Amino acid sequence: MGVLAYVAKRFGLYLAVLFIGLTITFMLPRFMPINPVDGYIGQIQSRANGTLTPEAIAEMRVNLEVLYGLKGDIFTQYLSYLKRVVIDFDFGPSFTYYPTEVSTMIVTALPWTLGLLLTATVIAWLLGNMVGLVAGYFHKHKAASILEFVGILLYPIPYYILAVSVLLILAYIFPIFPLSPTFPVGEMTWAKVGMIIYNSLLPAITLVLAGFGWNILSMKALAVATTEEPYVTYARLKGASNWTRMTRYVFRNALLPQVTALALSLGMIFNGALLTEIIFSYPGIGLIMRTAATGGDYNVLYGAITLSILAVATAGLVIDLIYPLLDPRIRTK
């Protein structure tokens, strides 16, 4: 099979997944019982102390429906939605923070989410894989089972429990970190950057702990299996040192599934990131979504979900495309 055919096939799947994802995203909020236009009109009405005439309200309703793409039957809405999202990446203005554009809100929040998420995921992956490799390579030693035990203990703990425990231990019992962190916005100075990093440590620690346990367990299982392979035995007979065998022979081969896992866990941590941001009031996409969900803010929800689907699907695509580079066996097939 040619490389081109492989890439084309994978890309086709990517587009199909995106299309179905976008369609489901479009349909979901339409079933919400909260009618955002009614809510918005109610807000303006109460601000004007009920002095608006019915004609003015009717006119406002028409204007709002046009503005938010709620005009016409659901099929027309769907077509114009696809056109706006796919071609312009435009989600319209937010209801709650009118006239701020949703894309502006997302662009402001995205660096926060990405900064926290990428750093924490990569650290958790590296640390977990190192510990897992050692635990797997030396799995006949008693000490190795202690390392694995850390993984067993950490992995099944739900994310919110980790977050609350970390908060309890590191902010309350040992007040190293602030209980309610603040994240200054606006112009960046060095003092502010320091403060942001300091305040981000708590959510970051939670994210690292959450990803850590799983990486240990999976890397350990892979390393144990690889250690039993004949070529590792051969390397030992050849006189290769423990270190060389562990890194060059076992690690290199056990790494492959872990790279796929990294992409998948990026998707899962996108879930985790939302929760972190809500629990630690960290100003990223998660916090925006939470506010949008309670306020019935369609456009913001669309934007945030579309973005997360896009991110997860793209991560999968990229990993699948660079996989042949990492695994020479696939290339030669």
Contact residue for another protein among 43, 80, 100, 165 (CB under 8 A): 165
Q: Rounded to whole angstroms, how far apart are CA atoms 109 and 288?
A: 8
Across 303-328, b (16+ Cβ under 10 Å) vs e yields bbbbbbbebbbebbbebbeebbeeee
Q: According to the binding rule CB under 8 A, does residue 308 interact with another protein?
A: yes
Candidate segments 50-58, 92-100, 199-207, 304-312, binder of another protein by CB under 8 A: 304-312
Q: According to the binding rule CB under 8 A, does residue 153 interact with another protein?
A: yes
DSSP assignment letter at 101: B
Contact residue for another protein among 164, 193, 322, 330 (CB under 8 A): 164
Helix (H, G, I), strand (E, B) or coil at 175: coil
Q: According to the binding rule CB under 8 A, does residue 28 interact with another protein?
A: yes
* Nearer of residues 152 and 197 to another protein, judged by Cβ: 152
Question: What is the Cα gyration radius of the chain?
Answer: 25
ω into residue 29 within 30 of 0, thus cis? no
Residue entry with tokens 């309200």:
57
Residue 122 CA from chain centroid, whole number: 12
Type and span of the H or E element at 202? helix 190-227
Contact residue for another protein among 48, 57, 66, 161 (CB under 8 A): 161
Q: Which of 108, 279, 291, 115 is nearest to 196 (CA)?
A: 115
Over 33-47, what HEC string results? CCCHHHHHHHHHHHH
Q: According to the binding rule CB under 8 A, does residue 107 interact with another protein?
A: no
* Encoded tokens for 315: 């991560």
Q: Rounded to whole angstroms, how far apart are CA atoms 61 and 63?
A: 5
Q: Rounded to whole angstroms, how far apart are CA atoms 60 and 40?
A: 10
Candidate segments 52-60, 181-189, 193-201, 253-261, binder of another protein by CB under 8 A: 253-261
* Nearer of residues 57 and 168 to another protein, judged by Cβ: 168
* Encoded tokens for 226: 């690889």
Contact residue for another protein among 102, 133, 134, 167 (CB under 8 A): 167
Q: Rounded to whole angstroms, how far apart are CA atoms 56 and 263?
A: 52
Which residues ranging from 189 to 248 are in contact with another protein (CB under 8 A)? 214, 217-218, 221-222, 224-225, 228
* Nearer of residues 121 and 258 to another protein, judged by Cβ: 258
Q: According to the binding rule CB under 8 A, does residue 294 interact with another protein?
A: yes
Tell me the closest approach of the beta carbon of residue 283 to another protein, in angstroms: 16
Contact residue for another protein among 42, 72, 158, 194 (CB under 8 A): 158
* Nearer of residues 32 and 48 to another protein, judged by Cβ: 32
- How many other C-beta atoms can be found within 10 angstroms of the C-beta atom of residue 11? 13
List of residues contacting another protein (CB under 8 A): 13, 16-17, 20-21, 24-25, 28-29, 31-34, 139, 152-153, 155-161, 164-165, 167-168, 171-172, 179, 214, 217-218, 221-222, 224-225, 228, 257-258, 260-261, 264-265, 267-268, 270-271, 274-275, 278-279, 289-290, 293-294, 296, 301, 304-305, 308-309, 312-313, 316
